[in-house]
Amino acid sequence: MHYFSQIFRSIVLTILLLSLKPVAIAQTYKFDDILYGAAYYHEYLPTERLDEDVRLMKAAGINFVRLGESTWQLWEPQEGVFKFDWMDRVVDKMYKADIKVILGTPTYSIPAWLYKKHPEITVINENGEQQKYGMRQNVDLSNPVFNVYCEKIIKQIIAHYKNNPAVIGYQLDNETHAKGASGPVVFSRFLAYLKKKFVSPDSLNKAWGLNYWGQAITKWDELQPVDGFMHPNYRLEWSRFQENMTTEFLERQADLVKKYKGAHQFIMHDHPGAFRNDIDERAIAKFIDYPGMNIYHYDQDKSDGLRISLFGSFARSLKPGNYLVPETNAASIGWNSADQFPPYDGQLRLNFFSHIGSGANLISYWHWHSLHTGIEQYWKGILPHDLKPGRIYNEVSRIGNERARVGKELVNLTKRNKVAILYSIDSQNGLIQQRFDNNMEGFVNGPYESGNDSYLKIINRFYKALYDLNIEADFVFPDGKNFEKYDMIIVPPLYIASDKLLQQLNQYVLNGGYLILNFKSGFADENSKIRHEVMPGALSEICGFTYNEFSNLRNRIPLKSDPFQVGDKNFAEQWAEFIVPTTAKTLASYDHPFFGKYAAITRNEAGKGVVTYFGTVVSFEVLKKVLWSSLEELKLIGTDQDLSEKLKVKHAFDPSGKTLHFYYNFSDKNMEFKYPYKTGKSILGNTRIEKNGLIQFSPWDVVIIKEE
């Protein structure tokens, strides 16, 4: 009887909603406007707040909300008892206000009754410790019992809302990662994974070099768990398995949602930032409609748009098309009150249009109201703790009403960048195991601290250098796709690489590409076995040098004769390969009685292309000078590079092919510059802008010009 009452209720609700306004259901959801909104948790608020919240959202120009990802215990308060009335009420109110809804599958935080019945589903870490209840994302994603319960709740929710015109899409789980799940059951799955990949113990022995320390196996059950295993080859494959656990978990959810969702509804996931070494974000992008990236950034005097651009570039590169920002700062953030730095006036608006200029189609604040309970009480929302509209709400309203006016002109933008950075998650994990840096001082130049992740430090530095030079970039990946689209590819230390990838890089250069290559590239194969060849192995011909020794650097070493004229920033640090050029030209060498006979930076012409190689870590100022010279050679230096340091510019194309230029003032000073491009229209100011006309704008302001 309960089942049929649910069906009846669903039918009645659908008829009611359809009667409110005519709805044209598309085959798949297509963005025709920028979606702007917030995560909304009515379940944390007094019941009587709903009408007032919807009224405030509508007045602020908010046109979508994200709901339900944290509320399994409300959807299913007891096992097998499903409740929808509490959410139906919210969805109905949003629909009447013409506010679209994205629902989250609520599987990242399990209900208390599920833990009580099945405490075995939580993660066991490598030390054998099992996580207790009380924290989110504490469950073994591969656990079959957990997945059975996930399937039940997802099926119920999606089937209930599949025909609801308010619900345009679903978010799979939330910021999913495997959290280092280990233990006997996970290890048994790892063995099955290895058997499928390597087929026989002998193949595994050869791939990993298990004769070392006499650890080779003759039977699969002789392989010991990862706990305490120091072998880098084992560790690399274990990291891939961890990534795969997350990918398979989300793919199971995606398959289930696709089976039950409406034709007009899309699927997304929100990653907890870019470059997570335990998540294969590229693999996950294959089975979702839109990649989502939660992008939190610095505000106040540290506001520079760098992390917005970096994470946006990465998200945009995961899948052809645009990306979504399901979570970003509304006010100050933090799990305590020790890091409360709310944005200055104007910074929220500047940040919003920074996301748009990078290609985002959806920007959502986490969250609508500041929480009164729980560990995230100080992760502030659009409304402060008193729930009264204030300074943040007023700026959100300004943005929302501008979005209502110009959003259709700024949706579905495309980029045509000429520079890309090659990101290899295997190299990232390989260099976490075999790190090359020996101190942190002066080495972290980027959008966020990267701890012991020395690979990520290099990505930070190169992206920041490009950003400082007003050069936009995409990311490419080790599958070799789209290399030919770019005039320049920057390759951070490609420590782990297959022979195929190395050949693809060779071909890219021989065909006319410009490669910026870094130390340790090509050093180990796809199984983390160091290659037998004289380095840089398969890359030797295009690099034009060889080396077979290297050294850490205890102290900074100056470069001979200050070749880039950077004064006290003329140094190398951390690492030095003993490079002996064959055909390469030495751009810089060490000013040192021993290291001085080796090249530090080289340039080599090969085929139709060029390779510039960094055999060391140079100062950030040297890095920028070398990049500038290379970009100038490719004729990628122009009027954008004449802008002052705090002025940033991005370029994009609308669906009709018209060019848009986004100018951002990341400073507390009034700024002006001469607009160098074709005559156009200021989208926000609705005024005509002549070529070479003077543009003036306020602190933390933005100007968007669409060419005629």
Question: What's the pLDDT tens digit per position in 376-433?
Answer: 999 999 999 999 999 999 999 999 999 999 999 999 999 999 999 999 999 999 999 9
State the Cα–Cα distance between residues 275 and 422, nearest whole angstrom: 12
Per-residue model confidence (pLDDT) at position 247: 97
Note the pLDDT tens digit of each residue in 293-319. 999 999 999 999 999 999 999 999 999
Per-residue model confidence (pLDDT) at position 23: 38
- Residue 659: in which H helix or E strand, if any? strand 659-665
Domains along the sequence of the chain with CATH: 27-177+249-410 (3.20.20.80), 183-234 (no CATH), 419-635 (3.40.50.880)
**Geometric angle at alpha carbon 145, from 229 and 162, rounded to 5°:** 120
| Strand 702-707 relative to strand 680-682, pairing | antiparallel
Contact 545, 591 (CB under 8 A): no
What φ, ψ does residue 363 adopt, rounded to 5°?
A: -130, 125
248, HSE (Cβ side, Cα atoms, 13 Å): 15
DSSP conformation letters of 493-506: ---B--HHHHHHHH
Per-residue model confidence (pLDDT) at position 673: 95
Per-residue model confidence (pLDDT) at position 622: 98
DSSP conformation letters of 308-349: HHHHHHHHHHHSSS-EEEEEE-SS---SSTTS--PPPTTHHH
Contact 536, 525 (CB under 8 A): no
Q: Tell me which residue of 458, 473, 464 sits closest to 446, measured CA to CA.
A: 464
Note the pLDDT tens digit of each residue in 143-175. 999 999 999 999 999 999 999 999 999 999 999
Per-residue model confidence (pLDDT) at position 60: 98
Per-residue model confidence (pLDDT) at position 445: 53
Q: SS3 letters for 465-483?
A: HHHHCCCCEEEECCCCCCH
Per-residue model confidence (pLDDT) at position 450: 57
Per-residue model confidence (pLDDT) at position 12: 37
State the Cα–Cα distance between residues 385 and 23, nearest whole angstrom: 37
Rounded to 10 deg, the angle between the 306-318 and 454-468 helix axes is: 110
Query: Residue 531 in 3-state DSSP?
Result: coil
CB neighbours (10 Å) of residue 361? 22
Per DSSP, the chain holds a count of helices (H) and strands (E) of 18, 27
Where residue 436 falls (left for φ over 0; alpha for ψ -120 to 50; beta otherwise) is alpha
Per-residue model confidence (pLDDT) at position 228: 78
Min mean pLDDT across 133-142, 359-368, 385-394, 588-597 is at 133-142
Per-residue model confidence (pLDDT) at position 437: 86
At residue 561 the predicted structure's pLDDT band, cuts being 50, 70 and 90, is: very high
Note the pLDDT tens digit of each residue in 351-363. 999 999 999 999 9
CB neighbours (10 Å) of residue 504? 16
Judged against a pLDDT cut of 50, whether residue 463 lies above it is answered with yes
Distance of CA 675 to the CA centre of its chain: 32
Judged against a pLDDT cut of 80, whether residue 446 lies above it is answered with no
At residue 227 the predicted structure's pLDDT band, cuts being 50, 70 and 90, is: confident
Per-residue model confidence (pLDDT) at position 47: 85
State the Cα–Cα distance between residues 339 and 318, nearest whole angstrom: 31
Mean pLDDT of the chain: 93
Judged against a pLDDT cut of 70, whether residue 194 lies above it is answered with yes
Tokens of 118: 């099945």
Note the pLDDT tens digit of each residue in 12-56. 333 333 333 333 334 568 999 999 999 999 999 988 999 999 999
Span 217-236, average pLDDT: 92
Q: Which residues contact 658 (CB under 8 A, 6 or more apart)?
A: 706, 707
Min mean pLDDT across 105-114, 122-131, 603-612 is at 122-131
Where residue 41 falls (left for φ over 0; alpha for ψ -120 to 50; beta otherwise) is beta
Residue 372: exposed, middle, or buried by beta-carbon count in 10 A (0-12, 13-18, 19+)?
exposed
What φ, ψ does residue 20 adopt, rounded to 5°?
A: -75, -35
Q: Tell me which residue of 237, 262, 357 sits closest to 706, measured CA to CA.
A: 357
Q: Is the pTM of this model over 0.85?
A: yes
Per-residue model confidence (pLDDT) at position 29: 85
Q: Which residues contact 223 (CB under 8 A, 6 or more apart)?
A: 191, 194, 201, 204, 217
At residue 127 the predicted structure's pLDDT band, cuts being 50, 70 and 90, is: confident
Per-residue model confidence (pLDDT) at position 28: 67
Q: Which residues contact 398 (CB under 8 A, 6 or more apart)?
A: 349
Per-residue model confidence (pLDDT) at position 443: 52
Tokens of 560: 């001979």
Task: Tell me the percentage of the chain whose pLDDT exceeds 90.
Answer: 89
Judged against a pLDDT cut of 80, whether residue 627 lies above it is answered with yes
Peptide bond into 536 cis (omega under 30): yes
